[in-house]
Amino acid sequence: MLAALALGLIVSPGAAPAQNLVVQVTTEPPGLDLTATPASATAGVVLYNVQECLVKVDRHGKIVPWLADRWHTSDDRNYTFFLKRGVRFHNGRELRAADVKFVFDRAMNPETKHPYPGYYSAISDIIVKDDYTITFTLKTPTANFLLNLARQGSVIYPREAVDTLKSEPIGTGPFKLAEWVRGDRIVLVKNPDYHVKGLPKLDRVTYRFIADPNAALAALKAGDIDATMFGLGPEHVPELQKDSRFQVILGETTNDVILSMNNSRKPYADVRVRRAVTHGINKPDVVKGAMFGLGRVLGTNVDPLNPYFVDMAGAVPYDPARAKRLLADAGYPNGFETVLRVSPQYAYSIRTGEVLTDQLQKIGVKVRIEQIEWSQWLSRVWKDAEYDLTIIGHAEAWDIGNYANPKYYFRYDNADFQKLFKESETTVDDRARRALYVKMQRKLVEDAPVVWLYIYPRLAVTKKGLQGVWKDLPLPANDLSEVAWAK
């Protein structure tokens, strides 16, 4: 009886299905502190489920009031937020403006090593007017200020919970953490004091860590899990679409899958080589071979859910003859050998690498695939840029700023692009900002710092009768607040 309760599978005879859900996820979070890790695996559990922000990105990608009932600005420099009254943290204490100030003061403190310090760099002052009113003063107008307040690093938590956020996050969300059994599962339970009437609809959510797509499929068919939000392979879709027991949800995400080139290493320091590699890749065939036709071919960092998206999928067409000429011009008439480091944690990266290896060999680039564990990938590739090539999906929305950071693991360093990005961040007029985003996308195509391959599709499969799952993912969250079993 106790084991069944732990898995959230109890159904009373003759009653409607219990409002419990067992979800498969591919990756166990490295920790549950969103102010300490950029991992999308953490955001997929914690963001909007356990911890929330002043504002929220809804299922349509719109910024809406949340812990703040409303906000006001007359000059795009001073933003006053009016907090929703009666919101309580999971420890029972009411949320006050002083808590908000503490959170952002801590985020801006370099000693805390927050993963997204750039989100808050424009803030010059935070003033608590009263318990429910707080004003942010900015050094300059900042176009993404509200969006940054809705992201995973901007969750609100109580001061007294700082030391335990990594393993016991406390917030204001619809669910509370019940247990984390390392290597097996994370269990969330309903927050009975949630500030949104009628939510959440689920009583219990169990995240089970199953990395292998085939094992996830077997668990789904056996009834051991109710849903898989990220973990199945695209090869399983046709079979599941024909199975009346399940519903398949296909949509868009912000997860751009890229072939990263280390711009600080030879031969990739030469733009001719980077362009040659790009011309040597047949992106539609990559999508067919690695993703079984699911996923949209991509031409720049900006994803289709972004309002400034420009379709540049065909800007650098597959042209192996031109690729060979560029390599010869760069001093590599016979091509070169290189190493592609990928992690088996993400099956799509292995499959994509195998397709690319065959394609690039035709232009003389001989690729050797080296598989390393995810922790090694994070430390060696992402942190220390110890690689030639790598493949990974970048799930964060509005992350074009990575290309303006010469210390990011691409090591792309272009002053013109950095200038465009800086200007775009302080341009609040929509038409002018859109024009800057067009220029940035064209500049990225020209410089080819990485090869943008495809957008990883939203691919969720659930048992029939589960309602309220988001079709598109405008940010790397797995918001379950409105999910419920049909009665």
pLDDT at position 15, please?
46
Alpha-carbon dihedral angle through residues 204, 210, 214, 215, given to the nearest 10 degrees = -80
Q: Please count the other Cβ atoms lying within 10 Å of the Cβ belonging to residue 70.
A: 11
Residue ranges of the domains in the chain?
A: 2-32+173-253+458-485, 53-158, 256-455
129's enclosing H/E stretch is strand 123-130
The proportion of the chain whose per-residue pLDDT surpasses 70, expressed as a percent, equals 96
Averaged pLDDT for residues 87-95? 98
For residue 25, pLDDT over 80 is answered with yes
Confidence of residue 161 (pLDDT cuts 50, 70, 90): very high
The residues facing 392 across adjacent strands are 258
Alpha-carbon dihedral angle through residues 320, 323, 329, 334, given to the nearest 10 degrees = -60
Q: What is the mean pLDDT of the chain?
A: 94
pLDDT in tens, 403-454: 999 999 999 999 999 999 999 999 999 999 999 999 999 999 999 999 999 9
Confidence of residue 3 (pLDDT cuts 50, 70, 90): very low
0.75 exceeded by pTM? yes
CATH class of segment(s) 53-158: alpha beta
pLDDT at position 5, please?
33
For residue 395, pLDDT over 90 is answered with no
Averaged pLDDT for residues 94-112? 97
Averaged pLDDT for residues 370-383? 94
For residue 250, pLDDT over 70 is answered with yes
Averaged pLDDT for residues 254-259? 96
Pair of tokens at residue 19: 């409002």
CB 372 within 8 A of CB 380: yes
pLDDT at position 39, please?
85
Confidence of residue 476 (pLDDT cuts 50, 70, 90): confident
pLDDT at position 6, please?
37
For residue 79, pLDDT over 90 is answered with yes
Q: Which amino acid is at 258?
A: I
pLDDT at position 18, please?
67
CB 195 within 8 A of CB 225: no
The proportion of the chain whose per-residue pLDDT surpasses 90, expressed as a percent, equals 90
* Angle subtended at Cα 364 by Cα 361 and Cα 369, rounded to the nearest 5 degrees: 45
CB 236 within 8 A of CB 465: no
Q: Of 12-16, 55-59, 244-248, 479-483, which range is least confident?
A: 12-16
Architecture label for domain 256-455 = Roll (3.10)
Rg (CA), the chain: 23
For residue 341, pLDDT over 90 is answered with yes
Pair of tokens at residue 135: 């004003």
The residues facing 339 across adjacent strands are 368
Averaged pLDDT for residues 379-385? 95
Architecture label for domain 2-32+173-253+458-485 = 3-Layer(aba) Sandwich (3.40)
Confidence of residue 11 (pLDDT cuts 50, 70, 90): very low
Confidence of residue 61 (pLDDT cuts 50, 70, 90): very high
The residues facing 47 across adjacent strands are 51
Averaged pLDDT for residues 332-361? 96
Alpha-carbon span 451 to 386, nearest angstrom: 18
Averaged pLDDT for residues 158-166? 96
For residue 101, pLDDT over 80 is answered with yes
Alpha-carbon span 320 to 365, nearest angstrom: 11
